[in-house]
Structure 1
Amino acid sequence: MSVRTMETLAGGRWVGAGSWVDVYDPTDVRAPFVRVPALTAAQVTGIYEAARAGFLAWRALGAIERSKILAKAAVLLRVRNAEIAAAIVTENGKTLAEARVEAEKAADFFEYYSAVGRQEYGSLIHDARPGTRTGFQREPLGVVLAIAPWNDPLITPARKLAPALAAGNAVVLKPATETPTSALHLARALHDAGVPAGAINVVTGRTAEISDALLDDPRIAAVSFTGGNDVGEALRVRLAARGVRFQSELGGKNASVVLADADLEKAATAVVAASFGQAGQRCTATSRVLVDRTVHDEFLTLLRAKVAALRVGSGRAEGTQVGPLVSASHRDSVLRDIATAVKQGARVELGGEELPGAGCFVTPAILTGVTPDMDVWRAEVFGPVLVVRPVDGFDEAVAAVNDTRYGLAAAVFTDSLAAAHRFLAEADCGQIAVNTTTSGWDVHMPFGGFRESGSPFKEQGAEALRFYTKVKTFAIHFGG
């Protein structure tokens, strides 16, 4: 049976290649469902040439015209929601409900940033010199490289592209090899909305063959990366030597705290949603739960029942709550992490099993008996694996939350206003939730973590525009 192909967008044209990259459906990895171009290093260099020209054309349009195009792209994404959501499910494995939300949120990003063209982009500053007007204005950087992960194949590119384009930059997008088709749908919406040739380009291919051309081009003004810590650190060092601006969103080992006064039923429901949505494959997923010892057993009983009731299966199937992991290799890595935890002394309360067949399914797992010296306490598993550990009171809970090199997200469940505000002040994370999940932040809310969870540059909201713009200060003498 022949496998269909998808072209990629390069310099305003949809192009193929001499060779192709296979893309698999994680519910059945026996054969690819689509192929995308494996671009060459020379083609990547040509894309940067086109991007530089595209930047000049996009900037010349002016902010208000750019905003109109981004607003049209948002409409197209909404009109095409069903088609795009189906693509997300097929290449990533998310449930259809999760994919529909992702497609809608991607549209929200372009709708939100389409307003940038009618907002201020600088300010006046008082000057001591007579007859002088002084101020500053924000300008685009130029060509931005956006490197996206496989876990949110549409919304993460949207999170990067919308503010980058709104600010007047051109973008070269490198989607994950496992999940390129969502990015191609996004590029098509932008192309159809009227983004000029070269202002948006998508590089598909094998990273090992094109990484030097992708990362070392002198026209790159900034790189925004979402992915693993090892790759992120290597990129930071590599780009720093050239003074390329770098933004990173990296790993997390997010904790939720359940205090003795919490509504345990509501807390358990929120923890399940935060831990096992998207099969645990999101940076903001709860992976550690710290429960006051006085309510630990009661909470664990509630949690076990809710996790055991989760339906695992194809994201296309009605009623599925947990889809497959993205690939066979990632499935195997999660299973190894569970096995290592058990070898080190953890107990599997339930789940953590591979389902038979050609898919990449791992049943949602709860681990207990975990101590801080175990790998599963320290390392990001990035799958449906949740550690539950008792603590004695608020202070011990906060210390355990902060006992990690990461600092992305944390939550506390309590009826105490004082405890909620103390947690907000003392938990060393970029995202703090009270009586709700560690995930689920909206497009206008600054997003990002502390310490090894990412760079100081935030994504989302008005904060994102700081990364994608440079500040030019001016003084105009008009007196005698």
Structure 2
Amino acid sequence: MKTYQLHIEGRWTDGADGVTEAVINPATEEVIAHFCHATSADIERAVASAKQGLEEWKAVPQWEKGAILVRAAGLLRERKQQIAEILTEEQGKPLAESLGEIERAADFIEWGGEEARRVAGRLIHGRDQGNTIEIRKVPVGVVAAFAPWNFPVVLTAKKLAGLLGAGCSCVVKPAEETPGSAVELVRALLDAGVPGNALNMVLGKPAEISSTLIAHPAIRKITFTGSSPVGKLLAAKAGEVMKPVTMELGGHSPVIIFDDADVESLAKSLVAKKFFNAGQVCVSPTRFFVHESQYEKFVAIFCEHAKALTVGNGADSATQMGPLANERRLQAMEHLVEDAVAKGARLEVGGKRIGDKGFFFAPTVLTNVSLDADLMNTEIFGPLVPILPFSSEEEVVNIANSVDYGLAAYFFTNDVARRRRVSERLYAGTIGVNDVPAHIAEVPLGGWGDSGYGVEGGIEALESYMKSQYVSLR
């Protein structure tokens, strides 16, 4: 059986104490692999390696850095079938979604490579004769990067594309649920020419690794994608040692459907968007608000399409929605449904686990949901859909903005004036007007409020991994 190793000092290696942990297929609950645990000594070696790798990588011209990253993107595309199969087996999503994730990861790596070639400072004429001022863009240093399990390839790729393109080295810590696909991403970058010391990878207990890396004096920046509660803890630790962070955290995205929207086509398309990756998406549409004149029609059509979804093993070509990632997510869904029903919600579709093997939860729709139900105020991160009616624009915008999350918001209307008006009032880093847009490489994604700060992607992708240096020359 496969055992995923750590990557330290330019080589693949077991953990110092020989401890391993099982990787579970969420569709079958079977052990499919193991991964090595990093000890404190392993982490220390990884940081020392990254410190050396920083100098090695800085010595590579920006143009060549870009070429290496573009080459890595090509390798990902060549290997996408193999990597996608690993991803589906360890994470559960349908194979078609896994293939799409590898393509998007390649896009981000390629984008980072192209942007690496455009890194530039500027010259300023000094106020005195003979004085020239340089504003230099320099890499921030060694980065500790923490990646999640829901999109373990593309979300890790976003981080590595930005930091490597900027000239930084790193210690990356993938999620313990999905080490195999992350290993393949790292392997592609190394095979393309990223120096081994510049790209270190550790696996193991999240709390121990994060505490050690954040406190380490050689680590100069933290980047994390995950839940808001964990992000707040890590940001607080980083603040104690004055280290900058990029935090891509949770979301609770409202979907507003106004009275002039085409609810028939919308209901079908929103089912696909909502249940993508079993709803385990930070920008997933989660709080549905439908104008009272369209409410009953929308609910009926949405429920019809939700019930028709084929739930199963992601390796089966007929599967449209796979399992949840682990037992914890199942328990979270059960709690949210029970709480909502106890507070008056009506269960229209689903609401329970499917079978007794695998972490499958039925696509679930609830109506008559109280605004104080937990699922209206807590990130759902699963296949639950509360649908509420509204009567006025003012009312629904206020409700949409009433939570502390601000990652994404979506609304649908044919009224041109309303498009501008509502888009300017919604509190979110991403706004979809008649759209639920995917995060693509050329646009920045960042949250507001409890959804984090800093961005990844776009021309801003490299900026958060660089510092501006003022140099006065005479």
**TM-score, normalised by the number of residues in structure 1:** 0.96
Please tell me whether residue 476 in structure 1 is matched to residue 452 in structure 2: no
CA distance in structure 2 between the aligned counterparts of 1:116 and 1:132, rounded to whole angstroms? 30
2:179 aligns with 180
Per-residue Cα deviation, 1:124-168 (whole angstroms, up to 9, x for no partner) = 234322232223121101100110111111111001000100000
2:464 aligns with 467
1:50 aligns with 49
SS of equivalent residue, structure 1 residue 314 = coil
- Aligned match for 1:440, one of 438, 441, 448: 438
CA distance in structure 2 between the aligned counterparts of 1:120 and 1:277, rounded to whole angstroms? 36
1:61-210 superposed matches below 5 A: 61-210=60-209
CA distance in structure 2 between the aligned counterparts of 1:423 and 1:184, rounded to whole angstroms? 43
Q: Is the 8 A contact 1:412 1:433 kept in 2?
A: yes
Per-residue Cα deviation, 1:71-98 (whole angstroms, up to 9, x for no partner) = 1111110000001111110111111111
TM-fit CA distance, 1:243: 1.1
Please tell me whether residue 10 in structure 1 is matched to residue 19 in structure 2: no
2:380 aligns with 381
The 1:214–1:132 alpha-carbon spacing in structure 2 relative to 1, beyond 3 Å, is closer
Structure 2 spans left out of the alignment, 5+ residues: none
SS of equivalent residue, structure 1 residue 325 = coil
CA distance in structure 2 between the aligned counterparts of 1:271 and 1:396, rounded to whole angstroms? 22
Per-residue Cα deviation, 1:199-251 (whole angstroms, up to 9, x for no partner) = 11111112344443233211100000011111111111111121111110111
CA distance in structure 2 between the aligned counterparts of 1:248 and 1:279, rounded to whole angstroms? 23
CA distance in structure 2 between the aligned counterparts of 1:82 and 1:103, rounded to whole angstroms? 9
1:368 aligns with 367
1:450 aligns with 448
1:465 maps to a residue whose letter is L
CA distance in structure 1 between the aligned counterparts of 2:307 and 2:135, rounded to whole angstroms? 58
The 1:120–1:233 alpha-carbon spacing in structure 2 relative to 1, beyond 3 Å, is closer
2:289 maps to a residue whose letter is L
SS of equivalent residue, structure 1 residue 294 = coil
CA distance in structure 2 between the aligned counterparts of 1:127 and 1:369, rounded to whole angstroms? 66
RMSD, matched Cα: 1.3
SS of equivalent residue, structure 2 residue 450 = helix
Q: Is the 8 A contact 1:63 1:116 kept in 2?
A: no
Q: Is the 8 A contact 1:146 1:171 kept in 2?
A: yes
2:311 aligns with 312
Structure 1 spans left out of the alignment, 5+ residues: none
Per-residue Cα deviation, 1:175-211 (whole angstroms, up to 9, x for no partner) = 1111111110111001111111211111111234444
1:267 aligns with 266
1:27 maps to a residue whose letter is A
Identity of aligned residues (%): 37
1:28 aligns with 28
**TM-score, normalised by the number of residues in structure 2:** 0.97
CA distance in structure 2 between the aligned counterparts of 1:144 and 1:118, rounded to whole angstroms? 20
Per-residue Cα deviation, 1:18-66 (whole angstroms, up to 9, x for no partner) = 111111100011x310001111111111110001001110111121111
TM-fit CA distance, 1:476: 2.3
Runs of 4+ in 1 over 3 A off after TM superposition: 208-212
Number of equivalent positions: 472
Q: Is the 8 A contact 1:270 1:436 kept in 2?
A: no
SS of equivalent residue, structure 2 residue 275 = helix
TM-fit CA distance, 1:9: 1.4
SS of equivalent residue, structure 1 residue 39 = coil
2:297 aligns with 298
